[in-house]
Structures are given as structure tokens and as C-alpha cells.
Structure 1
């Protein structure tokens, strides 16, 4: 790591502790559902039903829907830093509500609040990182949000296996608390400070993120050029504001904006309709139906570890292989893994002797999660922040994230019903088809953004 990017890495790690906290919130149901649906359920009404479990799992997406718009708006009005700091508060409260919840409604309220915080985190963190990072490290830093989220999921699975239902949420609440007390010392992004007409603070923030000390006269020509560019962008925004230049429908009607939004929406749809995020919520059930001999909790831990490896590989390769190549490999690899799993489940359900192939469920599912984590689940947030024109970046990202939450809710809520209609093997093949269609889309429409400036990326979309 060179000195000039040290503070960019540190700020990225601090911001992503919030993503880690949200990941642990997403991973909490895996082990908790086993308790909630057993005779040891702490609910007043006893064990919860599958329908109630589906609502507890899916309601987090409704919270994310609301959080995306609220914290996206707040980040433009008060800055990225304030928005992220405030998102930690409902996350802490959501965790602390869980041990005291005695009804399904109480748990749904907790999940809604946690989703609200998570929506803010995933709406603002990618923009924060994009605005502080240099072009040469923007990809590797931008892809870390899902890496940290996956660490959180793994931690939640491990805690759920080794700690009690009551103790686990208290331990997981530590992560958003740590984020708050670390992130409060970091500056906001230089572009956002310029937009808020805090020019001196913007200059100080730029020097901090470029690890520069001393007066402006002593700094490099590159930093001076970057500072002048920030001032130029700020002046352009002032002119737009003086011309009643708030974001309008016309700003989304340019060829570049329309193509960028189209790509962003499809990538968000592919993120969910590849099925991997939803299946993580039902990992134990899937392995049980697939004929695996592993326990549900151990299955979940293995899958979460594989997912973490995939997202780590994404972080390491995104600036070497490029976004487009990773996306293509991810879509095809995920489709193949789902196809193999679907074929095995179908043969097993038809009565064929699969005794010698008991390793196929864990092997194919692990392959699926690994390839999905290389790009489908990790890179859309980075790519969308890169390809959207600056004026519509915040609102455009919010629209894409809102659609993501809608897709996520539909998949998680109705996955059990889809399984009843299509069979588990049919569902796997449906998800595989989405992946192969996504691969075709990537070949035709997705531009390569590796190492390119924002201006160069926008030129590719013209």
C-alpha cells in the first residue's frame, strides 16, 4: 500500500464496519429461525409458522426501501458523513430489540428498523468511497462493501451456532457502535463539501485522503489539479442551481443517463434474480431438501465462508481483470452451479441412487455462491456509482437501490411458494436461466470502467 492511498483505505475500512454490522443483521435469521420454529421459541404464541418466518425475513427489505430514500436525501442535504453516522443508530436499536421481542410483530419492527439502517448504508457507502478514492484504487475499494457485509453474515452464522438466541444480538450490536465511534473522526468527501460550499474543509479533506501534509504551495501538481477540478465542478453546480438546476426528469432523459440507468436497473435485477441472496436465508432448508447430511447451522457457516472467499477474490481481481470480465465469469459460473444443483435435486427426488454423489449439493451450492460473490452480488454498487452522471448519481443510485429492495422482498417472501410451484430443482433452473441471460446482457451493454476516470466512463456511454 503506498502512502498516498493509506487514508483512503482506512476510511473505507471504517465506513464498511457499518456494512459488516448490516451483514450480521442479515445473517441473524439463519440460526434464529431454528430456535423460533422449535419448542424452545421465546415467542408468547410458541413456535412461529413458515409464513411468519417469511415475513420476518422479508420485512427487512421494506425497511431498506425507506432507508434508501431517507438517507440518500439526507446525504445530499447534510453530507455523506452525517447520513452514515445517523444510520448506525437504528441499527443498534434494532439489535437490542431482538432479545426483548416476544411476538412476531416485535421482531418485524426490529427487522424493519434494521433494514432502514441497511438501506442507508448501501445507498451512501458506495458514493462515499467513490468520492474519496483515486481512479487507480476506486474499484478495489468500492467492491469492499459486500466483502464486509459477507464477513458480517459469517460472524452472525458462527455466533448463532455457538451463542444463545438472547446473547447473540447483544454481541452483534457492537459492530455498528464501533463504526460510529471510529467514523465520527473522519472528514466528509471533498466533492460533497464543495457542493455544500465548505471550500476550506474540502481542501483539508482532499489533503487527508491523499495523505498530504503542509500548505497548498508545497503539494504536488496532481493534487492541485484535482483541487481545481473540484472547484470547477462546484462552480458548475452553482450555475445549475442558479438556473433552477435541481435534478429533473430532463436530467434522466439524456442518452448517457438513460443508458446508465438501464444498465444499473438490470444489474440490480440480476443481483437478486440469480437467487443467491434469497437462498442464503434458506440455506439449511435447501441442504435438507437436497439430501445433504450436514446440519443446517454448519451448512450455513460453510456457505458464508465460501461467499466470503468469493467477495475477497472480487476485491483482489477487480482492478486486474476488470469489471466486465469478472461479471461475465460470475454470471456463467453461477448459472452452471445452479444448473448442476437443480439436476442433482431432480434426480434425487425421482428416486435415482445418488449415494456416491452426496458431495454434489455442498459442492455445487458452494460453487454457485463463490461465483456469484465475485461480481453478481458484489460489483453492482460500485459499477452504478461509476457509470451514473454526477448530477443524477445520488438520486439515480437511490432509484436503483429502491428497485433492489423491491426485488429482494419479492424473492425472499415468495421463494417458499415458488419452491412449491416449481419444485426446488425447477427453481434452481429458473435462477440459472436468469444468470445466462444476464451474461448475454453483460457482453452487449456493460462498459469496462477499470482504471478510467468518471469523464472517460461517461464518454463510453454516449
Structure 2
């Protein structure tokens, strides 16, 4: 059936509401860049005085620990309480985390805040893609799914802007207000239809479909479409149960056979590529890279420039994901990052070797900007969407959660130990290693990842088999 544009307006509304949470988490992710400079200075707002660089690095890294805990917790809780209720619950630790920054007296309050905010982030990247994938019709599923990273990047850019132009205490107040508004709007949303059908809540599932697809059951065409959607979802759940009588719980054996085995392998490679491409690690050293380029730009302004580049790249993805397709964008993004890193690495190698590269001092800024821009086309933005699309029903909770545990663990390792790697091998060889990972990822995606653009769940499962 061909949906009119009006049929998806409630799906866009739901995506806007849940992504208020991801925008808030984006502010959390970007908060450290401007704030740690202030916290380690004599003008620190903490009553206990300025913090050390060791404490500052811990403040930056503890979100990864919180994210790891959040993935495990929310991966379990979604199987018990669905999607909507955990999303509402997330607003509570979000508000507490920012209150700890607003009224924090010492670095331990900041530690607690960062763990709590990472805890929420771990849940966001598990639940939001799954929720949007379940409520969206095929033709807009890609756009709605890619909004997660887009809004997160909006939050990061806002954090950079707030850090430069507003008072330290303004950011917590703004995010708390945003989170309260999100909590109120969440009550107007319905639980996802597939969750309700699994819970044998047929009438509620019908109401959910009518809401998200804007159906009028008094209209014969809409009534038939509603019945078709209910039958499709019920058949999907029935197919999951056919080999295990009325048991649709996850079992370890699901990981050893297709499509579960293939989906997990693809998911793991995508999250490892997301971190070991080097983009996230390089974003933590933005000021250093701009300094190496000979720029006298203020570090916070440098961060704003990078935030704008990220945002433009993720916006491009949102517009292309349902036109060009996931696989094409992933391949272009992976190869593009590799070329940018090789260019930057070559420049750094020549400079380290004593060659006069002054005439090419524009290369680091250009290469770095290109890497972040092209990375936002796919590698940095699409893993959460693709993973939510390719996971079989039995792995809908375990699969994304396990992949995100790997992502958070990898993020902690890459960010923490990048300085050691660059000191041991040199910055240029480190960049070459990241480029090699990207080229391997591109080959894997070409060979193994199915194109999910515009395809139904059943079609994707057939491709994975």
C-alpha cells in the first residue's frame, strides 16, 4: 500500500520526542570539551578548587563506564517493560546528573554525574533505534533511524556553543528544562505495536498502529491497512515461535544459526569500525590537531567548527539514507575516512621527518574536516540504524545491547590509550592503522552487509539466511 505523507506525521512526532533525549545526551558528550578547560583552571566553579589532569581525564572517560552499565541494564529492562516506560524512566537519571553538575562541590560529584549521564546514553542507543524501527513504515525508517546521531550531534554542537558563550551553570539549567519537556511529551506516545502484540495486548496494538500511521478506521482503505498491519506483525511473532512452542525468549543457540549469527557478526564489525576508524578518538584531540595545522584559533571555537562539520555530515546522511541506501553510504564513508587519514598521516610523517611542509599547512585542517564530514555519512551515524534493522526478533533486545557493550568498551580503550599509541608508534603510523581498519571495514561491508533500504523485516531476514 502506498502511504500518503500524512500517514507518517505521528512517526516524525515520536522521533522528535525521543530524540530530545539524544540531544540532551549530545550536550553531555560535548560538555567536557569546554568545561574541563575551566575546571582545571584557577577560575574553577568547584568549591574544592581546580581539578588535576588525571581527574579531568577520569571525568571525560567515566561516561563510557556508565554507558556500559546502561547497555546491560536497559537491554534487560526492555524485555520486561517494553520501549516507552524505560524512555520515561531515563529522564530521572538525566535530571539528577545535571543537578549534580549544577550544585556539585567537588570532583566526586562530577564523577557521579558522568556515570549517570553515560548510563542514560547506554539506554538511548539501545532503545531509541529499536523503538523507531518498530513504529516506522519502511519508506521513512531510514530517515527516522538516522535522526538519533543527527540530534546527538546537534547536542554536541550546542554544548560547544554554550561552553564558549554562556556561564558554566547555564548548560545544566537548559538541559534540565529540555528533559522535563521530553518527559511530558513522552506520555502522549503509544508503546510500539510489536511489543504490545508480544504481550497479547491486541486492542492496544491496534490503537498504537492507528496513532503512528494516522489511520481512520471509518475509512475502508485505512481499516484494511490496519488489519493488514496487525496480520503482518502477528505472523512475524508467530514465525519466531514456530520452532519453540510459544517460547520467543533468547537462547544462546540463536547465535549459531542464520540469520542470528550473520546479524551479530555484522553488528559487531560495524561498532568496532565506528570506534577504530579513529574519528571519535581524534575528536578528543581537536585543539591539538588545529594547533599542528598552525591555527591560532581559540580551542572552543575550533570545537564549534568541528561540531558544525559533524552536523552537516549527519544531516546529509538523513537526506540520503533512504535514497542512496545504507550500504552505499557505508562504503563511501569507510573509504573516504581511509583516504583522509592517509593524507593526514602522510603530512605528519613528512613533517616529523624534517621536510619543509609549510606550503601544505592547510592539509591537516582540510583532512581532519573531511574525515569528520565523510565519517558522518555512515560509519559514525548508521550502525545503530542498521543493527536495529537486521536483528531477528529473538535478538531484538540482546543483539543491540551486546553490540553497544562492545562499542562502549572500545571507546574507552581507544580514547584512553591513543596517547600511548601515538607516543609509541608516532601519530602518522597510528593514522595509517586507523585507515587500514577502514579499508577492511569497507571490504567486509561490500561482501557481507545486506542493503536494508525500503525492505521489510521478512525480506531482510531472507537476505541474512
Local SS of the residue matching 2:323: coil
Range that drifts further, 447-456 or 177-186? 177-186
Size of the aligned set, in residue pairs, is 462
Specify the alignment match of 2:376 in structure 1.
Answer: 373
Counterpart Cα distance in 1 of 2:349 and 2:41: 29
Report the alpha carbon displacement of residue 191 of structure 1 after superposing the two structures with TM. 0.5
Specify the alignment match of 1:248 in structure 2.
Answer: 251
Report the alpha carbon displacement of residue 109 of structure 1 after superposing the two structures with TM. 1.2
Q: Report the CA distance shift for 1:258/1:450 in structure 2 as closer, same or farther (over 3 A).
A: same
Local SS of the residue matching 2:288: helix
Specify the alignment match of 1:450 in structure 2.
Answer: 453
Maintained 8 Å contact 1:19/1:121: yes
Instruction: Render the CA deviation track for 1:182-202: whole Å, top value 9, x for unaligned.
Output: 122111101011112221111
Range that drifts further, 297-306 or 63-72? 63-72
Unaligned runs of at least 5 residues, structure 1? none
Report the alpha carbon displacement of residue 248 of structure 1 after superposing the two structures with TM. 0.9
1:388 aligns with 2:386: no
Specify the alignment match of 2:276 in structure 1.
Answer: 273
Instruction: Render the CA deviation track for 1:28-64: whole Å, top value 9, x for unaligned.
Output: 0010111122222334664433332222111101111
Specify the alignment match of 1:360 in structure 2.
Answer: 363
Could you say what the CA RMSD is over the residues aligned between the two structures, in angstroms?
2.0
Report the alpha carbon displacement of residue 76 of structure 1 after superposing the two structures with TM. 1.9
Specify the alignment match of 2:415 in structure 1.
Answer: 412
Spell out the pairing of 1:344-355 with structure 2 (5 A cutoff).
344-355=347-358
Q: Which runs of 4+ in 1 moved over 4 A?
A: 43-46, 215-218, 234-245
Maintained 8 Å contact 2:293/2:362: no
Identify the match of residue 145 of structure 2 among 139, 142, 146.
142
Specify the alignment match of 2:232 in structure 1.
Answer: 229
Maintained 8 Å contact 1:323/1:379: yes
Specify the alignment match of 2:66 in structure 1.
Answer: 63
Local SS of the residue matching 1:362: helix
Specify the alignment match of 1:154 in structure 2.
Answer: 157
Instruction: Render the CA deviation track for 1:361-388: whole Å, top value 9, x for unaligned.
Output: 2211110001110000111111111111
Maintained 8 Å contact 2:216/2:223: no
Q: Report the CA distance shift for 1:433/1:268 in structure 2 as closer, same or farther (over 3 A).
A: same
Specify the alignment match of 1:13 in structure 2.
Answer: 16
Specify the alignment match of 1:459 in structure 2.
Answer: 462
Spell out the pairing of 1:288-367 with structure 2 (5 A cutoff).
288-367=291-370
TM-score using structure 1 length: 0.95
Specify the alignment match of 1:403 in structure 2.
Answer: 406
Specify the alignment match of 1:165 in structure 2.
Answer: 168
Unaligned runs of at least 5 residues, structure 2? none
Counterpart Cα distance in 1 of 2:93 and 2:419: 29
Counterpart Cα distance in 1 of 2:302 and 2:427: 17
Q: Report the CA distance shift for 1:428/1:394 in structure 2 as closer, same or farther (over 3 A).
A: same
